[in-house]
Amino acid sequence: MSDNPVTGEVSNSKLAAVFPAKASAQDAAADLVEQLGIAPAQVKLITPGTTDVDIKLEPEGGNIWRTIVLAHLKLCLLGAIVGGLVFMGMMLADVHYVETSPLAAGGWWVLYGAIGGLFLGGLVALRPDHDRYIQAVREAIAAGRSAVVVHALSAMQQREAARFLAARGAEVTRTL
């Protein structure tokens, strides 16, 4: 299992497959492990009686501060590098302002890039793509249905699991 380079999370590719009945969800979860070879720890069954729904949906939620800090630091650094590259490009393009005041221009471009990276880090930390996934499961269990949640280790594994579960009649919601 490898961590995501931006957030440090093990699984950024999650999906929820909603089934009308607990039995069909249980069968699908078992078949997913057996036929696709996905590790049992990656597959969670959530039914209306499940008490630890939040942990099953976001098992790495306890490390949210780690995700926030890593995303901001890494994307800030990347943004600063991009800002420096923009500055170098402007120097090579003989932009008059940049040539007459290279320290100020370079500093501003690096700063603008770093701030842009911090904004992106905030967006990554908010995880807006997880809202649909979480809401789909919460609505399903409130309506008496069951869900199979898969914490895929890659986007490819997520796509395979989504196709497999959709073929079994599930309503599938994925994170990006």
* Predicted local distance difference test score (pLDDT) of residue 2: 44
Can you give the residue ranges of every domain in the chain? Answer: 13-63+141-174
Query: At 131, is the pLDDT very low, low, confident or very high (cuts 50, 70, 90)?
Result: confident
pLDDT exceeds 80 at position 4:
no
Q: For the chain, what percent of residues have pLDDT higher than 70? A: 90
pLDDT tens-place string over residues 41-91: 889 999 888 888 877 877 765 567 878 888 899 999 999 999 999 999 999
Under a CB-based contact definition with an 8 Å cutoff, are residues 79 and 115 in contact? yes
CATH for 13-63+141-174, options being 2.30.110.10, 3.30.530.20, 1.10.3720.10, 3.30.70.3450? 3.30.70.3450
Which pLDDT band, with edges at 50, 70 and 90, does 93 fall under?
very high
pLDDT at 1: 41
Q: Is residue 5 pLDDT above 60, yes or no?
A: no
**pLDDT, mean of residues 121-130:** 80
Name the pLDDT band for 164 (thresholds 50, 70, 90). Answer: very high
Reply yes or no on whether the pLDDT at 22 is more than 70: yes
One DSSP character per residue, the chain reads ----TTT--S--EEEEEEESSHHHHHHHHHHHHHHH---GGGEEEE-TT-S-HHHHH-TTGGGHHHHHHHHHHHHHHHHHHHHHHHHHHHHHTT-HHHHHSHHHHHHHHHHHHHHHHHHHHHHHHH-THHHHHHHHHHHHHHTT-EEEEEEESSHHHHHHHHHHHHHTT-EEEE--
Phi–psi pair at 58, nearest 5 degrees: -130, 75
pLDDT tier at 14, thresholds 50, 70, 90: confident
